[in-house]
Structure 1
Amino acid sequence: MSQPPIGIDLGTTNSLVSAFVDGKPQLIPNALGEFLTPSVVSISDGELIVGKGARERLFTHRDKTISLFKRKMGTQSQIKLGAEAYSPAELSSFVLSKLRQDAELYLGCEIRDVVVSVPAYFNQQQRRATQEACKLAGLNLLRLVNEPTAAALAYGVHEKDAETQFLVVDLGGGTFDVTILEMFDGVMEVKASSGDAFLGGEDFTEVLAKQICEKIERPWHKLGGQFQAELRAHAEIAKVKISNEESCTVKVFDKQEIYEVKLTRDEFAEGAKPLLQRMLIPIERCMYDVSLKSEDLDRILLVGGATRMPMLRHMVAKHFGKFPEFNIDPDHAVALGASVQAALLAEDRALDDVVMTDVSPFSVGIEIGREVADGRRVSGLFSPIIERNTPLPASRVGSFQTLDAKQQEVLISVYQGESAYVADNIKLGQYTVKLPRKRKDKEYFEVLLVYDTSGLLEVEATLGSSGEKHGLIIETLSEDLSPEKLAERLEKMRTLKSPPRENEVNQSLVARLDRVYAMTRGSDRQRVLDMIASFESVLDQRDPVEIDRIRGEIEQMLNRIDDFYVS
């Protein structure tokens, strides 16, 4: 079987993979039969654990388990995992490799070419790190697609003939994006994108964890990492509970005492007000950029698991005066849309009459200096040439002049961002242009920027005095890994062994038992210990039928224990 178009949602909290098959996108289950694979990595005796089993170890093996590393993409962070340190891109590559393995086994073919989604408000360094993660995972990245755009494709592919203007609100585990799109005559055009790369469902979970902390009268900043992790685990379950019910009770052990803490939906909403206010800023920026009013929008789509929270749905409905839609599972929409984008690139016949356009989420321009009234010069200023939310591909020209008639060269430094100061923006590249020596006046010159949908940026400076052109190609999605450096990093990562797929379900249950054992006390802890002994014993017998039976019984008992602690 040849490879179908593949899309991957590389998420902060969970990741998914989908394939475009028989004219429609479909999700691919992992070894546990689930579509969501937690974006968590753990090390156990030199063995790599990715997904649900790793997430269970967050509580019991904090020094060997890591999550939320997507928030560090594009930084120089080195994250300690056991005895080794890894970059966020390397950790993300472990998740991508796991998704690739699941897809290959499910589809029965080798997977190489993929489309991967990223938050619309990821800057170029973060996008570059995502491309690096794909390379380390042995994947050929066809394109990065913005998450709200992918979600819109998941919806829009079913309504090719619609004429509608809609807004996508995408709140995932670690990032928030908002995008305005228009659908007409089979063309889906992105009009504007904005967001917050450091705001997500995990921040709402922390609000609940701190509310639990307040109710047991313990200062959050003085808690140890282990206790904070326990409270976050309780808060995550409670967040789901009070999305469906008005209140829930959390049982917390502290200093040999057990506290029953009642959490209510109204208290949660009150504590999360600052986060909801942060969400309104990108929404209003998007509406401003395209000069729209609420009544101009036909539909509002909610994407991302965190949009299940009633407070968020209420906020969106109140702000826009209309109820949002969530016809597609908010956890699934981005992955489904990513495979639709892959199918568009592959020119799948099922999508012959669908055209997709996108915009630049950030402004792109150059560094300039200015002479102020008293003759002083101010440098380090940013002059946009391609404004944010310009449809791509785009070609724009800016006109400039040197500050000094005797100036012999000019440095063209290209940046991406929205700050007036280049120091607060992202540098994309630079080059020096030599100026003609024999001239009496300041040199005038034009800078042309050509930005295409693949992320390639061409810069060309034309001198006014001579007409000479000096250019630079910035491969914004390229990674500067030499073949030697790539081989070195791959060799380092190969020392970690991935468990056989058939062991993954059992491995996940062992990790869950360990987590619940660490969380419980007294008779409950003894019951869990009995379960651990029973399961280890049946694993030694290697009878798959008996293993499945015991595993099912244990999972039911663990569910009851979890329900006891958050009810």
Structure 2
Amino acid sequence: MIVGIDLGTTHSLIGRYDADGPRLFANPLGSLLTPSVVAIDDEGHVLVGQAARDRLVSHPESSVANFKRWMGSARETRLGQRVFRPEELSALVLRSLLADAEAALGEKIHEAVISVPAYFSDAQRKATRTAGELAGIRVERLINEPTAAALAYGLQERPDGSRFVVLDLGGGTFDVSVLEMFEGVVEVHASAGDNFLGGEDFLDMLETAFLGDLGLPAGSFPNTQRGQLRRWLEIAKRELSQRAEVRVTGQLGEHAVDWRIDQERFAKLSEPLLQRMRTPLERAMRDARLQPEQIDDIVLVGGASRMPMVARMVSRMFGRLPLRHVHPDEAIALGSCVAAGMKARDQRLDEVILTDVCPYTLGTEVTRRDGDGQLHPGYFHPIIHRNSTVPTSREESFWPAQPQQKALQLNVYQGENPMVANNIKLGELEVDIDPRLPIAENEVVLRFTYDINGVLQVEATVRATGRHYELLLQHNPGLLLDSEQIRQRLAALAELKIHPRDKQENIALLARAERLYEEHLHARAQLQAWITNFRAVVETQHDQLIREHRRELERALDALEQS
């Protein structure tokens, strides 16, 4: 069984491709969207999803979100008595998604296609694969999120020569891809993006404006109140997509809040962020060597793409309205399901071939000689340029910089800067050469091969001796986990106390009630009574009674929030 997964910054989804096409699976709360949030409760149990998201407001010290932005780094987060890496936090979200899908399907899942931002680096892609391994599945393929969105829109069924631009503005990342349909192949011509630009940044901007208007310095509120404020501002941000003006009111500690913002001011405040969106979009178009009038359709996906200012910016740049008829939160997950169907060789999809591109330039360090004959090391020499269609293989020849050199040190980098100091080092390969030979006869042929799963193979052949060297770059020392570390982390994760799936509804409802207790001072006595009563009902272990009281409490909390 193979599934498609959108492992998102803000929300994650899972589904599969079956007889009726792509189908997404709901979590125990009946929602297709599972918040990408992890928390530890007072008993040391791990919570994932809505329950964790509510505790992010009431217990921020034991909850964490937005960890997708840290993938590929060695950053660690302490929750309770445990320290987690980004791969482990993502693995816990994957485990929750897999449990939901397995409950719906009634069978075990072994493989998955997972979507990643098109601009994810080599290290970030490897970290995503590791998260899948820690969750107990094999990641059959990583698919770029804009490419997945194109599949969700059925762009692979368009006539030959059709060209599209897909823009994906999610909670934490922004991606652009330029695609063309040609003889049954969906070919990616160029991709660009910003791994630190998304809906969260627009929320940060609103928080800054709020504090500025009220004359409050940053850090004015403790973490619990700041979490409550950001939740209010998130609601306001969403409402600004439909309303000309919104009002934020409430009580934050000793501060009575009454703040208004309209669409016009929101758009003006957002201009620096919109400019950051334009930069990768223009770069992708330049790399694809296309003008706006040569594009047939523009697709907008990602939850943050709902903001009207985003559609307006795209419309001005391309002179037409973007397509937005597929649910923006679900498009990437649906496309991942289509890609999973392709991997499973579904008969309706086997004629479609999907290509992708290398998101960064890959190359090696070289020494250059100036006009006076002086040697200067540290220059970057590209071998595979960014936006090369993958899989791809390129080779070039290199020679020692000085006579009687015994070895060539081949340092492998990714990046776009002419100096290696400003790029990311991926690995190194030392090649022995004959110091007795003249420089011109000590040729070393260096070949880079980059596959569709983001694995770089580096091969060096000494022409004079035929000796062959090889380096397979599958991890970055110090950043990513090696096989032994993965084994140890798997054992540690297995010991975690994770709440059973069938109790998630109750856990999430109690977490929501506790969040509302934090937020609504006037209703605390009533909320405390409701919480106490529901906990007592849960302890009876009487399923029907629990379901009845759960529905009653849900209705009561809905009414409280609406008021």
Superposition TM-score, scaled by structure 2 size: 0.95
Verify: 1:552 aligned to 2:545, yes or no.
no
| SS class of match (1:350) | coil
Q: In structure 2, do the counterparts of structure 1 residues 160 and 109 end up closer, same or farther at CA, with 3 Å as the change threshold?
A: farther
Corresponding residue of 2:516: 516
Deviations 1:279-323, CA, capped at 9 Å, x for gaps: 111101100001111111000001111101111111111111110
Q: Assess if the C-alpha contact under 8 Å between 2:59 and 2:224 holds in 1.
A: no
How far is the alpha carbon of 1:159 from its aligned partner?
2.2
How far is the alpha carbon of 1:472 from its aligned partner?
1.3
Q: Assess if the C-alpha contact under 8 Å between 1:157 and 1:354 holds in 2.
A: no
For 2:433 and 2:268, locate their aligned partners in 1 and report how far apart those are by CA, in whole Å.
Answer: 60
Corresponding residue of 1:451: 450
How far is the alpha carbon of 1:337 from its aligned partner?
1.1
Which of 181, 190, 200 is residue 188 of structure 2 equivalent to?
A: 190
Which of 14, 18, 43 is residue 15 of structure 2 equivalent to?
A: 18
| SS class of match (1:243) | coil
Q: Assess if the C-alpha contact under 8 Å between 2:25 and 2:101 holds in 1.
A: yes
Which of 6, 13, 16 is residue 9 of structure 1 equivalent to?
A: 6
For 1:166 and 1:64, locate their aligned partners in 2 and report how far apart those are by CA, in whole Å.
Answer: 43
Superposition TM-score, scaled by structure 1 size: 0.94
Deviations 1:384-433, CA, capped at 9 Å, x for gaps: 11100011121222233322122211011111121222233232222111
How far is the alpha carbon of 1:488 from its aligned partner?
2.2
More divergent stretch after superposition (422-431 vs 293-302): 422-431
Corresponding residue of 2:283: 285
Corresponding residue of 1:532: 531
| SS class of match (2:355) | strand
Deviations 1:244-266, CA, capped at 9 Å, x for gaps: 11111111324534221112111
For 2:25 and 2:531, locate their aligned partners in 1 and report how far apart those are by CA, in whole Å.
Answer: 31
How far is the alpha carbon of 1:498 from its aligned partner?
1.6
How far is the alpha carbon of 1:349 from its aligned partner?
0.8
Provide the aligned length of Structure 1 versus Structure 2: 559
Which AA in structure 2 matches 1:460?
E
Which of 320, 323, 329 is residue 322 of structure 1 equivalent to?
A: 320
How far is the alpha carbon of 1:440 from its aligned partner?
3.2
Deviations 1:76-127, CA, capped at 9 Å, x for gaps: 1111111211101011110011111111111111001111111111101111
Q: In structure 2, do the counterparts of structure 1 residues 482 and 215 end up closer, same or farther at CA, with 3 Å as the change threshold?
A: closer
Which AA in structure 1 matches 2:437?
R
Which AA in structure 2 matches 1:18?
G
Instruction: Note the 1:65-464 alignment, pairs <5 A.
Output: 65-156=63-154, 159=157, 161=159, 163-442=161-440, 443-463=442-462
Corresponding residue of 2:57: 59
Q: Assess if the C-alpha contact under 8 Å between 2:130 and 2:486 holds in 1.
A: no
| SS class of match (1:244) | coil
For 2:518 and 2:221, locate their aligned partners in 1 and report how far apart those are by CA, in whole Å.
Answer: 17
Corresponding residue of 2:38: 41
Which AA in structure 1 matches 2:448?
L
Q: In structure 2, do the counterparts of structure 1 residues 510 and 103 end up closer, same or farther at CA, with 3 Å as the change threshold?
A: same
More divergent stretch after superposition (528-537 vs 69-78): 528-537
More divergent stretch after superposition (86-95 vs 258-267): 258-267
| SS class of match (1:351) | coil
How far is the alpha carbon of 1:160 from its aligned partner?
5.3
| SS class of match (2:351) | coil
Q: Assess if the C-alpha contact under 8 Å between 2:399 and 2:439 holds in 1.
A: no
How far is the alpha carbon of 1:214 from its aligned partner?
2.2
For 1:258 and 1:77, locate their aligned partners in 2 and report how far apart those are by CA, in whole Å.
Answer: 37
| SS class of match (2:327) | coil
**Unmatched 5+ stretches in structure 1:** none
For 2:368 and 2:205, locate their aligned partners in 1 and report how far apart those are by CA, in whole Å.
Answer: 45
Q: Assess if the C-alpha contact under 8 Å between 1:209 and 1:234 holds in 2.
A: no
Q: In structure 2, do the counterparts of structure 1 residues 200 and 524 end up closer, same or farther at CA, with 3 Å as the change threshold?
A: same
Corresponding residue of 1:474: 472
Which AA in structure 2 matches 1:268?
F
Over the matched positions of the two proteins, sequence identity in percent amounts to: 41
Q: Assess if the C-alpha contact under 8 Å between 1:121 and 1:195 holds in 2.
A: yes
For 1:372 and 1:526, locate their aligned partners in 2 and report how far apart those are by CA, in whole Å.
Answer: 78
For 1:370 and 1:539, locate their aligned partners in 2 and report how far apart those are by CA, in whole Å.
Answer: 73
Corresponding residue of 1:489: 489
Q: Assess if the C-alpha contact under 8 Å between 2:426 and 2:476 holds in 1.
A: no
Q: Assess if the C-alpha contact under 8 Å between 1:160 and 1:185 holds in 2.
A: no
For 2:481 and 2:287, locate their aligned partners in 1 and report how far apart those are by CA, in whole Å.
Answer: 37
For 2:460 and 2:255, locate their aligned partners in 1 and report how far apart those are by CA, in whole Å.
Answer: 71
Q: In structure 2, do the counterparts of structure 1 residues 158 and 457 end up closer, same or farther at CA, with 3 Å as the change threshold?
A: closer
Verify: 1:507 aligned to 2:507, yes or no.
yes
For 2:222 and 2:371, locate their aligned partners in 1 and report how far apart those are by CA, in whole Å.
Answer: 56
Which AA in structure 1 matches 2:487?
A
| SS class of match (2:259) | strand
Deviations 1:171-192, CA, capped at 9 Å, x for gaps: 1111110000011332211111
Q: Assess if the C-alpha contact under 8 Å between 1:46 and 1:495 holds in 2.
A: no
Q: Assess if the C-alpha contact under 8 Å between 1:160 and 1:353 holds in 2.
A: no
For 2:129 and 2:240, locate their aligned partners in 1 and report how far apart those are by CA, in whole Å.
Answer: 38
Q: In structure 2, do the counterparts of structure 1 residues 476 and 530 end up closer, same or farther at CA, with 3 Å as the change threshold?
A: same
Q: Assess if the C-alpha contact under 8 Å between 2:156 and 2:181 holds in 1.
A: no
Which AA in structure 1 matches 2:453?
S
Which AA in structure 2 matches 1:26?
R
**Unmatched 5+ stretches in structure 2:** none
For 1:454 and 1:408, locate their aligned partners in 2 and report how far apart those are by CA, in whole Å.
Answer: 35
More divergent stretch after superposition (304-313 vs 253-262): 253-262
Deviations 1:505-549, CA, capped at 9 Å, x for gaps: 11101001111111122x222332232233223323444444334
For 1:204 and 1:401, locate their aligned partners in 2 and report how far apart those are by CA, in whole Å.
Answer: 50
* RMSD of aligned Cα (Å): 2.0
Which AA in structure 1 matches 2:287?
D
More divergent stretch after superposition (251-260 vs 508-517): 251-260
For 1:407 and 1:328, locate their aligned partners in 2 and report how far apart those are by CA, in whole Å.
Answer: 60
More divergent stretch after superposition (245-254 vs 35-44): 245-254
For 2:476 and 2:351, locate their aligned partners in 1 and report how far apart those are by CA, in whole Å.
Answer: 31
For 1:35 and 1:500, locate their aligned partners in 2 and report how far apart those are by CA, in whole Å.
Answer: 19
How far is the alpha carbon of 1:210 from its aligned partner?
2.0
For 1:277 and 1:449, locate their aligned partners in 2 and report how far apart those are by CA, in whole Å.
Answer: 35
